[in-house]
Structure 1
Amino acid sequence: MGSLLSSNKLSQEDTQMALDKVKHIVSSTPVVVFSKTYCGYCNRVKQLFAQLKASYKAIELDQEIKPTIS
């Protein structure tokens, strides 16, 4: 995971903020789907959870605010 974040040239502070946010999300919700709105696999998983009436939180990565990379 570190190499993925570092390949985007995020500052150490931005990386730490992102990791803290992810840790908070996954510790506060039993099931989290990190998704993109156009991903067919993600949409199918969300549909399945809805059909099962399962409680989950979807984080739409393509709708998150992206930091500017200099």
Structure 2
Amino acid sequence: MAAPIVVYPPAPGGGRKVTAHGETLGVAYGLVDVIEFLRRAGLDIATLDLYDEDLIDWRGGSPEVWGPRAGG
């Protein structure tokens, strides 16, 4: 079974699209954004494991990969 949440590879300008069950939640520029999107989608962020591969499919890099940042 595929993970219900997908965090796509970083875009050339930075940020990663986040979807849940195929519905776009937004573009995240860091883990705080991902957590907020998932909170708004109704997940319990107190027990959330961002490394749970059954929950989140991190495509194009781990939770530490976000692409280019302004100024460097």
Instruction: Give TM-score, length-normalised by structure 2.
Output: 0.27
- Normalised to the residue count of structure 1, the TM-score between the two structures is 0.28
**Largest Rg, 1 or 2:** 1
Higher helix share: 1
Q: Per chain length, whose mean CA-contact separation is higher, i.e. which structure has more relative contact order (CA < 8 Å, sep 6+)?
A: 2
| Higher strand residue share | 2
